[in-house]
Amino acid sequence: MRFFLVKLILLMILAAGLSGCEGLRYLVYGDETEVERASKDECDEWKDSEDDDKDCVDWDAPKFRRNAQKAMDGGNYQKAIKIYEALEARYPFGPDSSQTQLDIAYAYYKNSDPEAAIAAADRFIKMNPRSPNVDYAYYLKGLVNYNRDISFTQRFLPTDASQRDPGSARNAYDIFDELVRKFPDSKYAPDSRKRMVALKNNLAMHEVHVARYYMKRRAYVAAANRSSHVIEKYQKTTAVPYALQVLQEAYTKLDMPEQAKNAESVYKLNFPNGPPVPEYEDSTIAHKVWDFIGLEK
């Protein structure tokens, strides 16, 4: 009788344990039917007429990646983003999980979603500070800001970049500068340095445009200060001769002949043949039409 009771108790404990395991399985995996249904609904977001895209439930990581790359190559960046994000959700700790994060950031960049691209790149930098690809994350952030605020029209009717809001240009310059300082031997460093030169020239010319605006408003002191700022802070940029011209004109308007003469002398000494780089170096017919219409004024 005692043996029977002991056996009964053991059977009850075993049954309770099995029930607990089943409950734990449900907590961890949920209802298998619901998981499968959710995965199929997930597939519906990007599936198309191709059989290869219709059933992502059993896809492994390489298949996710192949289909995402196929979408990227076809210019369907929105679809690629969804597939990459599904890949990251399905295999968050896979060997290529960090690469997936970079792929998502790049897809957002190509999809003209700068905020999401920068957020994804920042997330990668935070989670993978010692990754050999972290320099690319900085480079991508710089590219996003470098190309930011360029509208569809401006891509076909290019305007003077220095006349646009300089906020993104400053951000891009700072990011490229950080990349070059932290990763001087990066393969992205040479291109970053070239972009920094272009950005610095644009930022300097922006200051010249502001100084000219002050001249039109007869705010001659402000124009002189802005021009002096360009000469002091943006030395060796293509904007310096134009800043000297504005400075000379501002001092003349302020009835300060000695200062105006000094500005003229510096200009003639350093630029006897005029500005070495035309103000619209990349000027095209579209540029001239744009300026004639005055759409940026």
CA-closest candidate to residue 117, choices 88, 148, 86: 148
CA-closest candidate to residue 185, choices 127, 230, 132: 132
The DSSP code for 51 is G
Write down the domain spans for the chain: 59-131
> Which helix (DSSP H) or strand (DSSP E) does residue 233 occupy?
helix 220-233
Show the DSSP H helices in 54-129 as ranges: 61-73, 77-90, 97-110, 114-127
pLDDT at 287 over 90: no
How do residues 117-170 score in pLDDT, each as one tens digit? 999 999 999 999 999 999 999 999 999 999 886 543 344 444 455 455 678 899
Could you give the CA distance from residue 246 to residue 243 in angstroms, rounded to a whole number? Answer: 5
CATH class name, domain 59-131: mainly alpha
CA-closest candidate to residue 105, choices 124, 128, 121, 129: 121
The DSSP code for 52 is G
> Which helix (DSSP H) or strand (DSSP E) does residue 33 occupy?
helix 32-44
Name the residue with tokens 């000027």: 283
AA identity, residue 160: D
How do residues 60-81 score in pLDDT, each as one tens digit? 889 999 999 999 999 999 999 9
Q: How confident is the model at residue 25 (pLDDT cuts 50, 70, 90)?
A: very low
How do residues 219-249 score in pLDDT, each as one tens digit? 999 999 999 999 999 999 999 999 999 999 9
